[in-house]
């Protein structure tokens, strides 16, 4: 499955005992040298990252379950 805007990203901590960093993907930036993501972290900050292989995982955004009547 491809990563999409609105998905969550979880980046593992590089230091033992520190929590993982989590945020919402705001933009997917494809490139020949690897995909980058613009992320709004749970602390409110934003940054652009290109995670190393195996250092992160994405969680798909929940499907829209609302119904129109």
- Residue pair 35/50 in contact by the 8 Å Cβ criterion: yes
The pTM (predicted TM-score) of the whole model is: 0.81
CATH architecture label of 8-59:
Beta Barrel (2.40)
Q: Please list the rounded mean pLDDT of every run of 10 residues in the chain (69 residues).
A: 89 90 96 93 96 88 67
Q: Where are the domains of the chain?
A: 8-59
Can you give the pLDDT at residue 63?
Answer: 76
Q: How far apart are CA 2 and CA 11, in angstroms?
A: 17
């Amino acid at each position: 499955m491809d990563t999409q805007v609105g998905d969550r990203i979880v980046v593992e901590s590089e230091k033992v005992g520190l929590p993982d960093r989590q945020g919402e993907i705001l933009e997917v930036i494809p490139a020949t040298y690897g995909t980058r993501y613009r992320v709004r972290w749970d602390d409110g900050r934003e940054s652009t990252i290109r995670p190393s292989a195996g250092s992160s995982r994405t969680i798909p955004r929940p499907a829209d379950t609302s119904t129109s009547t």
